[in-house]
Amino acid sequence: MMFNRPRPIDVTSRLWRVNETQSDVAGDGPIALLRALIDLGTRHRIALSVCSAAGFVLAALYAHSLPPTYQATATLLLEPRQSAISGGEGAQQTLDLNRADSELQTIKSERLLSAVFESLNLKDDPELGRRQPGLIARLLSGLPVFQGREGADSAKANSTEPGRASTTIEQADEADRAAFLNFMSRLNARRVGQSFVIEIEYSSSDPKLPARVANATVSGYTYQTVAFKEQIARAGTEALQGRLDSLARQVDAAREAMHAGSLPAIATPDADARIIGAALPPLGPSAPRESLIIALGGVLGLLVGFGVVVVRMALDRRVRSAKDLAREMEVRCLGSVPDVPGAEGVPLHITSPQQQKFVAAIRDLRTSVEIACTSLRNEKSIVIAVVGWTPGAGVSTLCASLAQLISRGGRQVTLFKAADGEDTRASADNLPAVSLAGAAFAGLMPEQLSFEDVGGVAVLPIHSRDANANLFTDFRNPRVRRIFEAARSRGDVLLDLPALRHSMDALALASYADAVLVVARAGQTTIEEVSESVQLLRRAGANVVGTVINRARGN
């Protein structure tokens, strides 16, 4: 019976190792990270499912809002360059990679593409015109500030009547230039690996236009090459009329094909290139890839959900599980009591699975406390104090359940009960006339106290109905110690202490206990509050052996 002489932590650390640094080696590595992600996904599966579903829906809406895009590809094979005059096989030049790159740049040149653009008369194509303002731009244009600016611009334009004609011409040129730039951005020419094959591809929302543009580009390249050879042949003095007629027919065929958006009707051997693949109208759109966009949207939604959960967990410091306390604190979590509505103690008969879980958790908690106090008991009675940081943590229910379970195990139990915020006897009018504070204030002897028998447990309130007794009682008084010694001589003692946040009486009474349990309510008590409770109790000389999570969900 060593009251007011707190025992060092070493006594309990022989069993629980609370003062030893735990090794983190087992928790490192990719396997531990994978387990943490799986556990995180399991605990927050509803939020992650909602985020993933939102990602799928938004991606599907975005994919359906995009216009379909059709693509067509024409293929061109470069051949050795022939003489412009003779056209014979003996006058062929070698073909190297440098020439292939040069011909590729020729196809991409503005001169060739502008000829194709004008021959197909694409400047009036609405798809290549100026892009319509987006949703944000349209919303901004509806604001009064931007409306006033537009009004000022229109007024300024009306005041300059002499220059209106020139302004209209400039705007038309800018529109044609914008259409041509859009046309160039939709056309792509590339080499196939390191070969002499060049692919010309065009994309458009019109299913017929890509094939016309790709074929017209091939024909334009053929026309440009043959026309150049025709000019050289006409300038030569040794040119034969038959050779000129052949080149002229090739030029006319290439020109007509370029304007029609097709391939030359006759062979063009002097084009130094052979068309090996004509562009055909596509059977279906090549973009957007709705399934890929929707899948990426779901993955993005899942990642956003994980990010939201991680940020929420970082900002939310409330205790959720025993792992949270073990990760943040060095004090062991001795038990986790599930949330069972209407549970006020251990029933005589178990009638539901929820009651069975509750009683099993109380039994496990009693076993953990017995193990933690093995070296302290030695066939003697022990004093156990249970305390929380704020009222409503369920300390009274927990103490009453522990007392009932110990009593039904064949031991005498005395419970010193505080007025918890959830107790129906919390009001001053309902408090019994005899209490620990009243007995200490009046100087009563232990044998003069009258304990209330509740289910085989001797119960005595800590605070009195008399406010003066509660204010002036010193719980460190030797008379309080004698009352505890008398109760301990009869059996185990449980102290249902008031909340630490509102009263220092809990610190004064906790020093009489052999073991102190700190109760944290799941989803309400923060880790900082539990840590501060442990520090306050230890500074007061109390022997904190562990924590208890009350009203835990998912058990």
pTM of the model: 0.57
493 and 543 share a domain? yes
Residues 241 and 325 in one domain: no
**Can you give the residue range of the structural domain that contains 462?**
319-552
pLDDT band with cut points at 50, 70 and 90 for residue 93: low
Gap between the Cα atoms of 510 and 464, Å rounded: 19
**Is 252 found in the same domain as 353?**
no
| Tokens representing residue 464 in the block | 């009195």
Tell me the CA distances in angstroms from 94 to 3, 100, 115, one per residue in order.
107, 11, 29
For residue 263, the model assigns a pLDDT of: 77
**Mean pLDDT, the chain, whole residue set:** 80
| Rounded to 5°, angle at Cα 34 from 29 and 35 | 100
**DSSP one-letter string for 44-101:** THHHHHHHHHHHHHHHHHHHHHSPPBEEEEEEEEE-PPPPSSS--GGGPPP--HHHHH
CB 493 within 8 A of CB 384: yes
Residue with the bigger pLDDT between 52 and 431: it is 52
Q: Within this chain, do residues 267 and 305 fall inside the same structural domain, yes or no? A: no
Quick check: is 157 in a domain? no
Q: Contact 463/416 with Cβ under 8 angstroms?
A: no
CB-neighbour burial class of residue 40 (10 A; exposed 0-12, middle 13-18, buried 19+): middle
The region of weakest confidence among 22-31, 114-123, 286-295, 432-441 is: 22-31
pLDDT of residue 14: 38
The Cα diameter of the chain in Å comes to 141
Query: Does some domain include residue 341?
Result: yes
pLDDT band at 157 (very low <50, low <70, confident <90, very high): very low
Confidence bin at 89 (pLDDT 50/70/90): very low
Residue 272 has pLDDT above 80, yes or no: no
Question: Which pLDDT belongs to residue 365?
Answer: 94
Q: Which residue has the higher pLDDT, 268 or 102?
A: 102
Contacts of residue 79, Cβ cutoff 8 Å, sequence gap at least 6: 95, 196, 272, 273, 274
Q: Which residues pair with 417 in a beta bridge?
A: 461, 496
Q: Are residues 364 and 249 in the same domain?
A: no
Over residues 383-415, the pLDDT tens digits come to 999 999 999 899 999 999 999 999 998 899 999
Specify the higher pLDDT residue, 245 or 237: 245
441 lies in some domain: yes
Task: Report CA 153 to chain centroid distance, whole Å.
Answer: 46
Same structural domain, 55 and 133: no
42 domain residue, yes or no = no
* Residue 525 pLDDT grade (very low, low, confident, very high; cuts 50, 70, 90): very high
pLDDT at 18: 43
Is residue 461 pLDDT above 80, yes or no?
A: yes
Residue 4 lies in a domain: no
Q: Domains in the chain: how many in total?
A: 3
pLDDT computed for residue 143 by the predictor: 56
Report residue 20's pLDDT band, with 50, 70 and 90 as the boundaries: very low
- Predicted local confidence at residue 337, as pLDDT: 93
**Residue located via tokens 């007011």:** 4
Q: How confident is the model at residue 142 (pLDDT cuts 50, 70, 90)?
A: low
pLDDT in tens, 335-354: 999 988 877 788 878 888 88
Residue 19 binned pLDDT confidence (cut-offs 50, 70, 90): very low
Cα(423)–Cα(438) distance, integer angstroms: 20
Same domain, residue pair 391 and 488: yes
Q: Report the alpha-carbon distance of residue 26 to residue 363 in Å, rounded.
A: 30
Q: 371-379: list long-range contacts, CB under 8 Å, 24+ apart.
A: 371/15, 372/12, 372/15, 372/16, 372/334, 372/515, 372/545, 372/546, 373/12, 373/514, 373/515, 373/545, 374/15, 375/11, 375/12, 375/14, 375/15, 376/7, 376/11, 376/514, 376/515
If asked whether residues 249 and 302 sit together in one domain, one would say: no
pLDDT band at 424 (very low <50, low <70, confident <90, very high): very low
The answer to whether residues 96 and 214 belong to one domain is yes
Same domain for 444 and 376? yes
